Chains A and B, each alone.
Chain A
Amino acid sequence: MQFLFYLFAAISVISAVFVVSAKSPINSVIALIVCFLSIAGHYILLNAQFLAMVHIIVYTGAIMVLFLFVIMLLNLNKSAEPVKTLATRIAAVIAGGVFLLTLLAAVRHGLDITPARDFDGGVGLVRSVGLSLFNEFLLPFEVSSILFLSAMVGALMLAKKEPAASAGTSPAAPAEKRVA
């Protein structure tokens, strides 16, 4: 099991580094997919089967497909990548270096993590996830679902054409539709 943990951890870290370092956006997306899959592997090691599968379905199977979809449609390539100015680059290096220093200082004496409570192998199973979602966390759960609903309605409103704009092009619209 420990071997698997290190394997998944190595895959996650290497693919995550590749996501930001890859030149081609398609390669970045693929590395991110690999990263998500390895994180699902971590969930399975923790016996959180439900979380692992939902993670694969939602992130790997839906969100990343849409990412890839957009990148394919836009046909992004290296030349489309914005070139940063020298000042931005220097600022980025300094900010990154300071962050690295902070991290190193934090783990200088070794990481001593004591779990708040003992690991319970059943915590990630469907039954316990469902019970805690619909008892303990019912309000946050419902509020976040309303948040998603409002996001969906908002996206529809943005995607819908302005009535004035569509009225101007209405004679051409049916012909366009037939071609499409």
Chain B
Amino acid sequence: MPILVTALLLVVLFVITLTVAAYSTYGERKVAAFLQDRIGPNRAGPFGLLQPLADGAKMFMKEDFVPKTANRKLFFLGPAIAMTTALLTGVVIPWGGTLTIGDLRIPLQGTDPEIGILYVFAMVSIGVYGIMLGGWASNNKFALLGAIRAASQMVSYELAMGLSIVALVMVTGTLSMNGIVQYQIEHGWGVLHQPLGFLLFLVCAFAETNRAPFDMPECETELVGGYHTEFSSMKLGFYLFAEYVNMFISSAVMATLYFGGYHVPGLAGTGWDPNLITLLGTAAMFAKTFFFIFFFMWIRWTLPRFRFDQLMNLGWKGLIPLAILNLLLTGGWAFIQPRLFP
């Protein structure tokens, strides 16, 4: 029975992830339109709400073209890896507390391994292969340059991201995603303990998801379309879609690690039905996640793109030293605090 419940939960999570990603494309256009004082998509359905469906249908109808000089197997494998690794990450994110139906206790989380945060990190680090292999297999200069940029950018920013997570883990004392949320429920949200760490994580999340101002791998002013120049039809759709899935997942990770996840201050003391509190918590989790998705779009349509050398300078000479400083401060505080306030 619990296996069936988990399977059902994962299917629901899968559907929600895809829906959110699809409507993020709509949201992106509406946010862009709002920021540029335009109206945005409004033809397909009321307020243009059917636009993602129309886009998806259009993608399916396009010719699935494979260049003659491309490496066919890797050309197929690239988008598949990008999409798969993007979807795999959501499993360990705690989307809510525990629902109790009769005797059945259902935690709203796919699984809670004790190394949850490392799992997220591992999936992010595998995700770069989708872009690298796809870009290389296209046998196109622009695609190759995009792929190489993606690889060097992601490896560079993974370091600062990892160091900022290490500092957070030093505070919470656990690597489990749910454990981190539990710590925040007891001791206050992570952003209060790790303000600098949050800022570093936020910047690195932009770089890891290839979002502007760090969208160098697909910088259209320099590289035509970057790593997906040669891709068409649903293969291109997978790449674009994987980017939105990644954005959704990294927003959820930020909400979980630094903004209390499904925690709503003061809700536990109201004495309401526990199931209601769990559902409200899940709603809060999604609200926090959607805020970060909006933040991603806000930044994209506000800041111009970096140059590639600026991006590398920021990563290696700016973020990594700051992350190490943050680590030292966190460690020093953990050492001094019990001695100052016993």
| Alpha-carbon distance between A180 and B222 when the two chains are bound, in angstroms | 12
Inter-subunit contact B114/A73 (CB<8 Å) = no
Q: Which of A51-59, A100-108, A159-167 contacts B (4 or more CB under 8 A)?
A: A51-59
Chain A nearest CB from B161 CB (Å) reads 11
Q: Mark interface residues in B115-144 (1 if CB within 8 Å of A CB, else 0).
A: 100110110111011001100100000001
Inter-subunit contact A33/B125 (CB<8 Å) = no
| Alpha-carbon distance between A57 and B132 when the two chains are bound, in angstroms | 17
Inter-subunit contact B126/A56 (CB<8 Å) = yes
Q: Which residues of A contact B144 (CB under 8 A)?
A: 72
Q: Mark interface residues in A160-178 (1 if CB within 8 Å of B CB, else 0).
A: 0000000000000000010
| Alpha-carbon distance between A41 and B125 when the two chains are bound, in angstroms | 17
Interface residues of A in 26-52 (CB under 8 A from B): 26, 30, 33, 49-50
Inter-subunit contact B115/A65 (CB<8 Å) = no
| Alpha-carbon distance between A33 and B309 when the two chains are bound, in angstroms | 29
Q: A69-B148, A72-B136, A126-B114 are in contact. Are A60 and B74 (CB under 8 A)?
A: no
Q: Mark interface residues in A64-80 (1 if CB within 8 Å of B CB, else 0).
A: 01101100110000000
Assign chain B's interface to a size class. Answer: 20 to 34
- Tell me, yes or no, whether B158 is within 8 Å of chain A by CB: yes
Q: Mark interface residues in B209-245 (1 if CB within 8 Å of A CB, else 0).
A: 0000000000000000000000000000000000000
Q: Which residues of A contact B322 (CB under 8 A)?
A: none
In the complex, what residue of chain B is closest to A73 when comparing beta carbons?
Answer: B148
Inter-subunit contact A56/B129 (CB<8 Å) = no
- Tell me, yes or no, whether B265 is within 8 Å of chain A by CB: no
Q: Mark A residues whose CB is within 8 Å of B.
A: 26, 30, 33, 49-50, 53-54, 56-57, 60-62, 65-66, 68-69, 72-73, 125-126, 177, 180
What are 5 sample pairs from A and B whose C-beta atoms fall under 8 A apart? A50-B175, A61-B125, A65-B132, A65-B154, A72-B144
